[in-house]
Structure 1
Amino acid sequence: MAYGGDHDRRAFAITINWVFTCISLCTVTLRFASRRLLEGSRLEIDDGMIVFAMLVVLARTIWLSVNVSMGFGRHLTDLLKEDPANALRLSPSSYGLTVLSLWTFVIPKIPVVALLTRLFVISTKRLGRILWTMLAVLIVWNSIMTVIAFAKCDPVRKNWQPALPGTCLNPKIYLYMGYFSGAYSAFLDFVYAIYPMVKVWQLQMEQSRKTLIVLSFSLGIPAGIVSIVKITTIASLLEAGDPTFATVPLEVWNVVESSALIIAANVPMTKPIMSLAFSRLKRFTSYISSFASRDSQGGSKLSTLPSNPSGSGSKRMSALRQGWQRQDSREDFLLEDTRLTSVVTK
């Protein structure tokens, strides 16, 4: 895969990063629009954490955009020939971006775990502790990687200026740590996706509705797949001689994975606004079909169209809100009247 070309990857890098960042931002907006539909619905800890995760991803994308404007995505040798001073400024910035990217696939997992523990771990806290402990291992590991990223060379500037005199740790040590981080991250993505799918499948509810909910939680699986693919690009960390070009694939997969995690955390929470949108769409298509049918029969008066059995839009909205408000505060509106406590947590 060329990742945008063999000489200039700037357009590819910035396009992919902004497209996925905007998609993530849209799902966050839909999540809070759904909360707004639920009058009196209080914000939960996972709502705050998803905002924090989105801000981190957005900050990283802005940082990458600044780097691209300085030449990130082109070969370092070409940049040194054109403007050595600019290339020297870009090198530490690109290195810092790579270090920040260690957290763009960790922080979005926090709201995912917060959501899972709020929805499913009700009768016991044991599973909640397990889920948080598994994530804590990744947080500690990446914290160590962050420290080593700057401490592995003496002086520190030698990390992004390899020609400087000094000493560095064997670069393969950091590479193998990156492999473990990526593999363990993929493992967590699969666990956090499969766990709620199994729990929902145990609930007593209509099969079609159960399938829809399971599918909404399964969106975490693509994040795990992306993490596995990303592992193949970690070797670019060894490309000390061309960091502005060689690390583009890693940065691309970082934003894809982080966006997939944010989307997976948001989609299950957007049911209210999705239900409203589909209800309006269904009414509109029904109106058009009815109008077309009468027009083909000679053009009956529009006033003879049958009334919508669900009532007016305002009444429908009121009914939906009342239905959601009647739920237990410990349930999520995603599962509506089905009690999560019916799932036996072992």
Structure 2
Amino acid sequence: MKSDKETTTDNKAFLQNSNDLFEKMTAYMPRCYFPTALGKDALLEFTGKEFRRVRDIICRECRFDETGCIERNAGVSPFELVRDLFEQEVHRRIRKDYTQLSVISIRESLIEKIRRAVKKENNIIGTFYQNRGAHYRDAEFPEYDTSPIVVIHNSEFYGYGGYESATVYEFFIDKADRLLCTLNGEAGEDFDEPVEHVQIEGLFEIVHWLEEYGFIPDDADGITVCDECGSTDIQTQAWVDPNTRLFIGATGIDRDDNWCDECEEHLPFCSRKEFKERMQNWWEGLESSEMERIAGLPQSQTSSANRSRKVTETCNKWWNGKSYDEKRVIWKEHNNDE
């Protein structure tokens, strides 16, 4: 049986043989890699990290002192002699999981929405107590009717593969500009966790909660509608990645690329905000008697400035109480000739 000294000597000789070293390193590589980003810099970082991971494993297994070897060999490490081959092999084994990349893109979008909301509230939002910014541990405020409950994954957890369910008590951005959430775990303990550890279903719950309680404003006015009737039941021709089903770009600016199911015509589109403004301008341009007729109010044969003002106020209250789609129905009914 070989002594430790003999084994170390054999390992050193082995590490100095490039072909054997490369074969030894590839034995620790998985058959496929699924990186979470495919940009040039991201892949360079990915391959470098994998190289260092495998190198460290072999150094531990072989009890090889790489630093000492470099000093004895004019600053050259045996691992550097096979690095290019190793990184080429990593690239050969890379696979593109388009579904995974789509999910990552969605995650990043949701986290950015949460960050913007927290920053707007002076870097802290209470989600359990109605503190609107005061740290929940020091506050005496009523509770919200609901609070987000999420599942997080932290590889440092020992139970359930690093997964844990918890109630979100608050969000805050610390001095290092990290977005964190204070959680109340299954055992009743409170702890701070990076939002990145929240599973994607939980991120949706958080964003929907922030929208429900007004921390994220309604951005519906930015959506696209039919320029003729204001409907969202529209379609447009576009270039789409067949693997990810992600939108790449419009085919052009021709109205024939657009279709409105409600109008059953090829029509141009506009933003909902623009269409709302058009309906509002139409309403405000009406005579008080016409407003009265459209609102279905009892009309009087007498006319006076005072009565006209009161009629306008009543009709405006009626109009402003209507939803976007209710206003659309009214607008279409009285603008068929336009």
TM-score normalised by length of structure 1: 0.21
Q: Which has the higher contact order (CA 8 A, sep 6+)?
A: 1
| More strand as a share of residues | 2
Q: Which has the larger radius of gyration?
A: 2
TM-score by length of 2: 0.22
